[in-house]
């Protein structure tokens, strides 16, 4: 099915690009993204078999193993090797076809291969469409933590073909909804309200037009934030609402917990900490739990993950400053802020409060 794209313009310090949200976009990749040279496609072992053959004019395809555990410098090295063997030069455009891991790896490769080549994002997961594909952040994980090595690399275009969402497993679609809930909390009370009341209870099999509206609405939130703060010097940090807790939960789980699931648990913990520090009404936690549960997301941290281990994992988070943990907390829906004024005991109390007993 085809659906005319919604165009969302993103500006940044060195230029601008369009995010296209529609259906049936992938076969027209070169025209829509205005690619003139060779295309080097980077995808993964899950997405490639489903969608790679929909893209025409590909000179070289590099397939990486699927999964967060492969978002490493070792994987980047194998991609470099295959691009060199294929004779890919600086006239080529690297195209990322996949979820957030593929986008992060491909973007980092595009930023560094031959000192930089053009880059186009074709996100195929809800999480990647509404979050990872917009804003230019790329990176890979280290054993010590997530996204510790990376670069800012702005794409020349983003094609969000929402028809790919209908091939997602339900749990992967739900994981992406955690970022949609987060975007509503940050600066779109109307969006959060619809999620909170269950008015917008979408699934991967929802009508294409509804998926297009959902993705475009969520992208606008991120677009507006990253335009204001392209290099994460201020307001952009608020996009990490729930992530200080969430990344630590992912790490302690050995990445068995999906990113979106970690963010969902992290949003609840952030609300608990916000109320504990008297920044928001204690009822905020319940409101967030309702919105997450309506999307089939977890709201409790598994008891097997020790609170102390989660707290220690937070210190590998690059969001800390001068050795202090920074948390994004809430005063209300649409009113979030960054603080380092939370003690170890307060953080541990919030982790424990939102764990299964």
**Alpha-carbon gap, residue 87 to 103, rounded angstroms:** 22
Six-digit token string for 279: 């920044």
Q: Are residues 286 and 315 in the same domain?
A: yes
Range list of H helices, the chain? 29-32, 48-51, 73-85, 100-112, 126-127, 170-187, 189-196, 208-228, 243-252, 259-276, 283-294, 307-313, 344-353
Domain C-terminal end among 112, 140, 167 = 167
Q: Are residues 138 and 187 in the same domain?
A: no
3-state secondary structure 117-129: CEEEEEECCHHHH
**Alpha-carbon gap, residue 323 to 137, rounded angstroms:** 23
Domain CATH code at residue 221: 1.20.1090.10
Res 305: pLDDT? 97
Q: Are residues 180 and 282 in the same domain?
A: yes
- Residue 119's domain comprises 3-167
Q: Are residues 229 and 311 in the same domain?
A: yes
- Contact status, residue 249 vs residue 266, Cβ threshold 8 Å: yes
**pLDDT tens for each residue of 67-123:** 989 999 999 999 999 999 999 999 999 999 999 999 999 999 999 999 999 999 999
Domain CATH code at residue 119: 3.40.50.1970
Residue 52: pLDDT over 70 = yes
Q: Are residues 87 and 206 in the same domain?
A: no
Whole-angstrom CA distances from 18 to 108, 120, 133, 171 are 20, 10, 12, 29
Q: Are residues 185 and 202 in the same domain?
A: yes
Residue 319: pLDDT over 70 = no
Query: Looking at residues 117-143, what average pLDDT do you find?
Result: 93
Q: Are residues 113 and 255 in the same domain?
A: no
Domain C-terminal end among 120, 135, 167 = 167
Percent of the chain with pLDDT over 70: 99
Q: Are residues 79 and 130 in the same domain?
A: yes
Q: Are residues 228 and 107 in the same domain?
A: no
- Confidence category of residue 318, pLDDT binned at 50, 70, 90: low
Positions marked active-site: 115, 137, 179, 222, 232, 236, 240, 243, 247, 259
Residue in the block written with tokens 């009404």: 281
Q: Considering its fold, how many domains does the chain have in total?
A: 2
- Contact status, residue 322 vs residue 245, Cβ threshold 8 Å: no
């Amino acid at each position: 099915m085809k659906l005319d794209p919604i165009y969302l313009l993103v500006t940044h310090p060195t230029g601008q690009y369009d995010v296209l949200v529609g259906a049936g976009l992938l076969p027209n990749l070169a025209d829509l993204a205005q690619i003139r040279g060779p295309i080097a496609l980077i995808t993964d072992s899950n997405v490639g078999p489903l969608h790679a053959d929909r893209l025409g004019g590909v000179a070289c395809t590099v397939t990486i193993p699927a999964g967060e555990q492969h978002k490493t410098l070792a994987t980047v090295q194998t991609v470099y090797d295959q691009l060199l063997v294929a004779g890919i030069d600086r006239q080529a455009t690297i195209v990322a076809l996949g979820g957030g891991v593929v986008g992060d790896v491909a973007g980092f490769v595009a930023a560094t291969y031959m000192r930089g080549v053009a880059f186009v994002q074709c996100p195929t997961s809800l999480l990647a469409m509404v979050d990872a594909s917009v804003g230019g952040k790329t990176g890979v994980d280290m054993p010590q933590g997530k996204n510790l090595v990376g670069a800012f690399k702005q794409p020349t275009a983003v094609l969000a073909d929402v028809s790919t969402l209908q091939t997602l497993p339900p749990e992967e679609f739900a994981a992406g909804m955690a970022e949609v809930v987060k975007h509503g909390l940050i600066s779109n009370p109307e969006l959060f309200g619809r999620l909170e009341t269950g008015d917008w209870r979408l699934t991967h099999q929802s009508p294409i037009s509804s998926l297009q509206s959902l993705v475009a609405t969520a992208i606008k939130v991120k677009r507006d934030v990253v335009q204001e703060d392209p290099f994460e010097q201020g307001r952009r940090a608020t996009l990490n609402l729930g992530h200080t807790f969430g990344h630590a939960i992912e790490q302690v789980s050995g990445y068995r917990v999906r990113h979106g699931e970690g963010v969902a648990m992290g949003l609840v913990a952030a609300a608990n900490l916000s109320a504990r520090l008297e920044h928001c009404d204690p009822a905020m936690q319940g409101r967030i739990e309702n919105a997450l549960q309506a999307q089939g997301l977890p709201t409790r941290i598994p008891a097997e993950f020790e609170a102390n281990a989660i707290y220690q994992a937070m210190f590998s988070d690059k969001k800390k400053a001068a050795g202090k943990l920074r948390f994004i907390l809430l005063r209300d829906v649409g009113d979030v802020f960054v603080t380092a004024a939370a003690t170890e005991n307060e953080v541990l109390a919030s982790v424990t409060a939102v764990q299964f007993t």
